[in-house]
Amino acid sequence: MAKLRIMSTNVWRCAENKPWWSERGLDCSSAARAPGIAKAYSETMPDIIGTQECDVIFREHLPKEVAKLGLNYSFITAGFTSVFYNNDTLELVESEYVVYPENIPEYEGVFNNDDSKSFCLAVFRTKADGKYIVFAGTHLWWMHGDPGPSYRPHSHEAREYQMNCMLDHLDAFRKKYNCPAVAVGDINAKYDSLAINAALSRGWHHAHDIATEYADERNGWHYCFPDGYVEYEPSPFKEGIDHILVGGEPEGFVKRFERYTPDYYVSLSDHYPVFADVEF
């Protein structure tokens, strides 16, 4: 029986310290926050980690901080959605990096910024028993689809399009290897959204919904930006925008769905890590 812990972390793209932080003796730069994020990895020991907003500074510092803690992880460099995996438990079979197009059919507008909206797909084989699993870590378009701040028309549809693009790839790979697939990431959409509904309508399941032992009911998001941060006061699960989806899974595949929220993480990112424990 293969047992894996699969995580998603939006590490917050903020390369340099900002005035609000420096005035309080704090440092929100990527280099300053990387050790704390690596600490969370060492405390939870995921087998696969999909990152978002992993800018060039993070791609330099985060693998080094992970190595300092003695974690035997490899790093798949895939732009802002780069991936870590545990060398002790997994062997990489193949990988693919896809940047979502700026435009989507039928709708006007640009729906990618700095090529940051993308996914990294990887096929792994477990070292213990040779089982395959397909993984993708993604970050979908961020602006709001309803009138208000940060509004861009058709943003909901853009995320739906991007979700289907990723799932097309995942479905092809999981059929090729005849194995389950897991997609994680900052979907920038709540549970009741076009993007998540697109996955559910294709027969995918949310890890929260099928977890057999524990399903975290918190949203896992709080205010942490260049102009400051506030303490985490969780909202209900359906308000969360970081998701884990599974497809082609056997019965009882997801055991645990959890947001990891240690106190020290409040100033590291606006997104807390989310993970799922799976068995197959």
- Three-state helix/strand/coil letters over the chain: CCEEEEEEEECCCCCCCCHHHHCCCCCCCHHHHHHHHHHHHHHHCCCEEEEECCCHHHHHHHHHHHHHCCCCEEEECECECCEEEECCCEEEEEEEEEECCCCECCECCCCCCCCCCEEEEEEEEECCCCCEEEEEEEECCCCECCCCCCECCCHHHHHHHHHHHHHHHHHHHHHHHCCCEEEEEECCCCCCCHHHHHHHHCCCEEHHHHCCCEECCECCECCEECCEECCCCCCEHHHCCEEEEEECCCCCCEEEEEECCCHHHHHCCCECCEEEEEEC
**Tally of CB atoms within 10 A around 113:** 12
What would the pLDDT profile of 209-242 be if each residue is shown by its tens digit? 999 999 999 999 999 999 999 999 999 999 999 9
Stretch 243-269: mean pLDDT, rounded?
Answer: 98
Q: Phi, psi at residue 246, to the nearest 5°?
A: -130, 145
Q: How many domains does the chain have?
A: 1
Q: Measuring CA to CA, how many Å separate 175 from each of 71, 122, 168, 170, 200?
A: 32, 14, 11, 8, 18
101, 119 contact by CB (below 8 A) = no
Q: What is the pLDDT of residue 112?
A: 98
Which pLDDT tens digit goes with each residue over 32-90? Answer: 999 999 999 999 999 999 999 999 999 999 999 999 999 999 999 999 999 999 999 99
Each residue's pLDDT tens digit, 176-217: 999 999 999 999 999 999 999 999 999 999 999 999 999 999
**What is the model's pTM?**
0.98
Residue numbers of the domain that contains 223: 3-279
Cβ atoms < 10 Å from Cβ of 25: 6
pLDDT of residue 265: 98
How many beta carbons lie within 10 A of that of residue 253, not counting itself? 20
- Return the residue matching tokens 């693998």: 63
What is the average per-residue pLDDT within 136-157? 97
pLDDT > 90: percent of the chain: 100
CATH code assigned at 257: 3.60.10.10
27: confidence class by pLDDT, cuts 50, 70, 90: very high
Chain mean pLDDT for the chain: 98
Q: What sign does the CA torsion over 197, 142, 40, 263 have?
A: negative
